[in-house]
Amino acid sequence: LFLFFLATLLAVVSSKKNQKLVYIAHDTNPRRYWVADPDHPSLIRLDQAKSTKWLVTKSGDSNRISPYGRDSGLSVTYKGYDDFVNLKKTTSGQKWSFIPHHSRKVAIQSDEEPSQYLNSKLYTNNYPHLATDTESEPQWILIPV
């Protein structure tokens, strides 16, 4: 029984070590944050209010990104309308790599489509979307909660 308890405790500690709670921001002035869009629950949009916390779960070199405090089955993916980043119920979730820059900023790269990066341009009405590696400049900041 003691060994079972110890194994369970180690598993919980190990899983928590691979998780972090963050706000994800676009490095603009004024700064805009990823939020789960209240009008379109499957979409993520950029807003000046920090209304959504994101749980980043590291698995090897990849990361799964999920909204914190909402249905735990949701995760960030891009298999949706016009390559907008969206939230879907999935068992595995899209995996992402954070490519660091010498500044605090990171590029967020799709692990399934390595030539694709999360991007934000004004013509998308502040909805993050996938773009090719020609638009892979680091533009996101992960801010610990």
pLDDT digits (tens, 9 = 90+) for 96-141: 999 988 888 999 998 888 888 888 765 566 788 888 766 677 889 9
* Band of pLDDT at residue 6, cut at 50, 70 and 90: very low
Question: Taking a C-beta distance cutoff of 8 angstroms, is the pair 95, 108 a contact?
Answer: no
Contacts by residues 63-71 (CB-CB < 8 Å, ≥ 24 positions apart): 63/95, 63/96, 63/97, 63/98, 64/92, 64/93, 64/94, 64/95, 64/96, 65/24, 65/93, 65/96, 66/93, 67/36, 68/21, 70/36
31: pLDDT strictly greater than 80? yes
Q: Which residue has the higher pLDDT, 72 or 137?
A: 137
Rounded to whole angstroms, the Cα distance separating 5 from 61 reads 29
Residue 79 has a pLDDT of 66
Query: Can you give the pTM of this predicted structure?
Result: 0.81
* Band of pLDDT at residue 85, cut at 50, 70 and 90: confident
In the chain, what are the domain boundaries? 19-144
CATH code of the region 19-144: 2.80.10.50
Q: Which residue has the higher pLDDT, 12 or 66?
A: 66
* Other beta carbons within 10 Å of 15: 10
